[in-house]
């Protein structure tokens, strides 16, 4: 059974810092991995999707990497801003059968001015 863990569970940083969020998964047979952002009480916004054959994806100040063999992904946020404050979730899809999203436990990020 795929298990997805995110560390740290919560993170508080001052504005302007570069930061890294971690995601680990137990079964490396994944189809792809997706990073989402969720504001309190709101829906999920897709940030980046990395296919299993890719090593990284970039969008603006965000960079996500994937090391499938070690079961790890990182989300790098450059020059953090208060508007980045949210919960960040990673989710993996397995490579066989129905490709259900298995979500991680999330990292709550607070960026203070």
Partner 1 sequence: DTEVTQTPKHLVMGMTNKKSLKCEQHMGHRAMYWYKQKAKKPPELMFVYSYEKLSINESVPSRFSPECPNSSLLNLHLHALQPEDSALYLCASSQGLAGDTQYFGPGTRLTVL
Among 21, 3, 24, 1, CA closest to 11: 21
Q: Alpha carbon 34 to chain centroid distance?
A: 7
Position 34 contacts partner 1 (CB under 8 A)? yes
* Rounded CA separation 11/109 (Å): 5
Provide the minimum distance between the beta carbon of 65 and partner 1 in the complex, in angstroms, as a whole number: 18
Query: The tokens of 93 are what?
Result: 């899809």
The answer to whether 31 contacts partner 1 (rule: CB under 8 A) is yes
Query: Binder to partner 1 among 104, 107, 109, 111 (CB under 8 A)?
Result: 104
Choose between 16 and 31: whose C-beta lies nearer to partner 1.
31
105 is a site residue for partner 1 (CB under 8 A):
yes
State the nearest-atom distance from the C-beta of 16 to partner 1, in Å. Answer: 28
The reply to whether 46 sits near partner 1 by the rule CB under 8 A is yes
By CB under 8 A, residue 26 contacts partner 1: no
């Amino acid at each position: 059974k795929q298990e997805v863990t995110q560390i740290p569970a919560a993170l508080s940083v001052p504005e302007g810092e570069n930061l890294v969020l971690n995601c680990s998964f137990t079964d490396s047979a994944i189809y792809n991995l997706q990073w989402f952002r969720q504001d309190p009480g709101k829906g999920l916004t897709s940030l980046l999707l990395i296919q299993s054959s890719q090593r990284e994806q970039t969008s603006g100040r965000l960079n996500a990497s994937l090391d499938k063999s070690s079961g790890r992904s990182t989300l790098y946020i450059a020059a953090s801003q208060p508007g980045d404050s949210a919960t960040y979730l990673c989710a993996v899809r397995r490579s066989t059968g129905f490709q259900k999203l298995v979500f991680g436990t999330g990292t709550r990020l607070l960026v203070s001015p």
